[in-house]
């Protein structure tokens, strides 16, 4: 068969169209409760410490493994096991994001917080369902294409909510911006209604089985000590990057850049640089192997924070802002490519939905919980010292690399557990 025609048939299939829209739906809520919301709060003169603590709104992303077995076990009476959950969650997100247009950050921060937590919980649950749908619908030869189009949709959503939202906010009220963003959830709803149905598999027969099999297999395969160290490494690997991401928008606003500047450069060029970095990371990974990629990309990811440190010294300089955003986001994309490959290598394909939810939950700990004091830290130290601290925050994760990714003279093939009979874990 002609390889070009084969590739076009894969990318042009109905499932790929569904996946790009589901990726868009998954990415849409993230910035609306984090970076974009921080910009709104900053302009409303909310205290910087409160803005930093607002990263705790994202705690559901770190805890989603707790209820992920429920989505494997319970099948709703419409649209199938995966799409039924997706449609309910997406309608809930549309309503919850629209409700943000009624909030007033300065006058009623508590109501804003409750609304944001609801969005984060629904968004984390949507991620579980979307990851499970992607796993179920794709044939082995479609995995690469499916992952690519899903990430593309996700990044387009981040471009919309991180760049366009800030540009719009310079021209219309923030309440109108959130109302407009809520309507974009309709794309995910349409995708779910018309998406192909995955092949039916035998779901867990009890909640106990849905919980025990995935977690028990992971611990049994890794060993208790190694499993704990694995989870600790996942928490720490992108910690330095998370510190910068959490406070970059307030920093740029306080430095004198406008929302349009930030939307066009950080939200637009930054996301493009992240996409390019992710694609480049995937290409380099295939050449130098996963282990060495984690070392090289992790180091670059940490050193890239130096660009923000220099920008804090330089001040309002558009040329250096553009350089800073591109360097930091490109290196973050490199690190993401290697890190996601590492997470996939840790998942037994028989339990990948729940196990990936577990691992990605721990990945979110650094993004949402450990960086909660970042606002208070920046307030007490000043921006230059804050960005220097962010570089050192990346060191603990790098120090754990010898336990999981020793530097080998030759690239090693990525092993996926669960493909051989001996990988089956029997709790009996």
For residue range 358-391, list pLDDT tens digits in order. 887 787 777 767 877 777 888 888 888 888 888 8
**How distant, in Å, are the alpha carbons of 68, 155, 202, 279, 300 from that of 185?**
22, 15, 31, 27, 35
Are the CB atoms for 98 and 181 separated by under 8 Å? no
What local confidence, expressed as pLDDT, does residue 148 receive? 62
Burial of 172 (0-12, 13-18, 19+ CB in 10 A): exposed
Are the CB atoms for 328 and 390 separated by under 8 Å? no
The answer for residues whose C-beta is within 8 angstroms of residue 248's C-beta and 6 or more apart is: 35, 266, 308
Say what the pTM is: 0.70
Q: Which residues of the chain have pLDDT under 50?
A: 1-8, 10, 413, 419-428
Residues 241-250 as b/e (b if ≥16 CB within 10 A, e otherwise) read bbbbbbbbbb
In 158-221, beta strands by DSSP E: none
Question: Shortest CA distance to 250 belongs to which of 112, 387, 395?
Answer: 387
What local confidence, expressed as pLDDT, does residue 135 receive? 73
């Amino acid at each position: 068969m002609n390889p070009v025609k084969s590739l076009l048939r894969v990318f042009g299939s109905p499932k790929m169209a569904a996946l790009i829209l589901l990726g868009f739906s998954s990415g849409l809520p993230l910035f609306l409760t984090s970076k974009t919301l921080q910009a709104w709060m900053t302009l409303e003169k909310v205290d910087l410490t409160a803005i930093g603590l607002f990263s705790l709104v994202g705690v559901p992303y770190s805890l989603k493994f707790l209820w992920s077995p429920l989505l494997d076990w319970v099948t709703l009476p419409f649209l199938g096991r995966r799409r039924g959950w997706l449609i309910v969650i997406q309608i809930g997100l549309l309503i919850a994001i629209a409700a943000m247009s009624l909030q007033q950050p300065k006058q009623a921060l508590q109501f804003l917080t409750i609304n944001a937590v609801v969005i984060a919980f629904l968004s984390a649950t949507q991620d579980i369902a979307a990851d499970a749908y992607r796993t179920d619908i794709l044939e082995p030869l479609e995995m690469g294409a499916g992952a690519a189009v899903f990430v593309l949709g996700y990044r387009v959503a981040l471009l919309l909510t991180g760049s366009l939202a800030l540009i719009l906010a310079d021209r219309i009220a923030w309440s109108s911006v959130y109302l407009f963003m809520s309507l974009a959830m309709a794309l995910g709803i349409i995708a779910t209604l018309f998406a192909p149905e995955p092949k039916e598999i035998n779901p867990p027969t009890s909640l106990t089985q849905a919980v025990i099999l995935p977690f028990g297999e992971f611990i049994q395969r890794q060993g208790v000590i190694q499993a704990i160290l694995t989870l600790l490494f996942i928490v720490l690997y992108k910690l330095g990057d998370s510190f910068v991401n959490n406070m970059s928008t307030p920093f740029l606003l306080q430095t004198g850049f406008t929302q349009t500047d930030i939307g066009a450069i950080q939200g637009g060029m930054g996301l493009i640089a992240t996409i390019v970095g992710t694609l480049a990371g995937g290409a380099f990974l295939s050449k130098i192997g996963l282990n060495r990629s984690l070392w090289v990309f992790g180091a670059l990811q940490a050193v890239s924070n130096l660009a923000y440190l220099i920008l804090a010294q330089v001040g309002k300089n558009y040329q250096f802002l553009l350089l800073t955003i591109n360097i930091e986001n490109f290196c973050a994309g490199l690190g993401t490519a290697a890190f996601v490959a590492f997470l996939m290598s840790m998942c037994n394909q028989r339990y990948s939905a729940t196990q990936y939810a577990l691992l990605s939950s721990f990945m979110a700990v650094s993004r949402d919980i450990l960086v909660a004091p970042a606002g208070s830290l920046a307030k007490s130290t000043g921006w230059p010292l804050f960005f220097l601290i962010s570089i050192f925050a990346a060191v603990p994760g790098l120090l754990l690399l010898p336990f999981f990714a020793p530097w080998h003279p030759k690239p090693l093939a990525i092993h996926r557990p669960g493909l051989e009979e001996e990988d089956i874990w029997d709790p009996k």
